[in-house]
Amino acid sequence: MLPLHHRTDRGSLKSFLGGGVKRDKGMIDDRVLLVHLPYMPATSYKKPKYRRIVLKISGEALRNDATGQAIDSDVLDRLAEELKSLRAIGTQVALVVGGGNIFRGLAGARSNGTDRTTGDNMGMLATVINGLALMDRLEKSGLEVRVMTAIPMDRIAEPFIQRRATRHLERGRIVIFVAGTGNPYCTTDYAAALRANEMGADAILKATKVDGVYDKDPMKHKDAKRYVKVSHAEALTKRLGVMDAEAFSLCEANKLPIIVFSMAERGAIKKAVLGQSIGTLVV
């Protein structure tokens, strides 16, 4: 089979070939088309395991701990490169971005007494800031991007409409979902689980600062062991904290695979999409 983006051009190739070698009525033999296609590196023909993904990027993953900057320019650049590398394998990508590098409703309520709903609204606006930073960088690197928001703000982003979002993905655009679910008392993990189900995604890729799911906190315990693969049920009973409970149960109920990996690992997103072992696979 030819890669999808070549097959879409079959109509024009057919007329270019002037009929070509026909297998049966109206069909051209793929082998004939291949002769006329430009050279592409072998990796371009790798078949993705996941055809459509939701990539959840926590706000913390965007932060530069050394400088204290909320949004690290290098992280944006690397992400743009990683997403560009997915174009050749044809996987459709939606991003859900967190806001914890800027504001979290619960933390605001605890530290300065901000009303929880107000704090959560502030947290959701923080995700918009991150989403716009991502949009800018991805577009500058040549990717086509749409930002869709759960809280209407039509001068800045499109409203989230499930069918329109699907259409963007089908056209090869990267969709960035911002403002979480649009509701307080939720997290962007829940938004990622929700959007992944709504969009019919094949997997959620969760990019964090840690390189997977451990049996205990790897920051505190030197003997902590990383799971390579774990079932939803085991992750739930062992309280492995892959995502918050509501988000996780939404994934479990719909048998949605989750891959947890570190943003710092180069090529991680592509590896995950190709089904190669990376971080922890919850399935």
| Chain residues in the site for ligand UDP (CB under 6 A) | 58-60, 98-100, 104-106, 119-120, 123-124, 126-127, 180-181, 183-184, 186-191
Give least dist CB 150 to ligand UDP, A: 7
The answer to whether residues 66 and 96 touch, using CB atoms and an 8 Å cutoff, is no
Question: Nearer to ligand UDP by C-beta: 246 or 265?
Answer: 246
Q: Which residues of 180-203 are buried (b: 16+ CB within 10 A; e: fewer)?
A: bbbebebbbbbbbbbbbbbbebbb
Which residue's C-beta sits nearest to ligand UDP?
98
Distance CA 88, CA 92 (A): 11
Question: Nearer to ligand UDP by C-beta: 127 or 280?
Answer: 127
Give least dist CB 246 to ligand UDP, A: 10
Question: Nearer to ligand UDP by C-beta: 128 or 274?
Answer: 128
Give Cβ neighbours of residue 134 (< 8 Å, ≥ 6 apart): 57, 76, 79, 95, 97, 145, 176
Question: Nearer to ligand UDP by C-beta: 91 or 114?
Answer: 114
Question: Nearer to ligand UDP by C-beta: 85 or 158?
Answer: 158
Give least dist CB 126 to ligand UDP, A: 6
Question: Nearer to ligand UDP by C-beta: 60 or 265?
Answer: 60
Q: What angle do CA 3, 84, 86 make, to 5 degrees?
A: 40
Give least dist CB 18 to ligand UDP, A: 54
DSSP string, 104-153: -HHHHHHHH---HHHHHHHHHHHHHHHHHHHHHHHHHTT--EEEEESS--
Long-range contacts, stretch 118-122, CB < 8 angstroms, 24+ apart: 120/184, 120/185, 120/186, 121/184
Give least dist CB 109 to ligand UDP, A: 9
Give least dist CB 55 to ligand UDP, A: 12
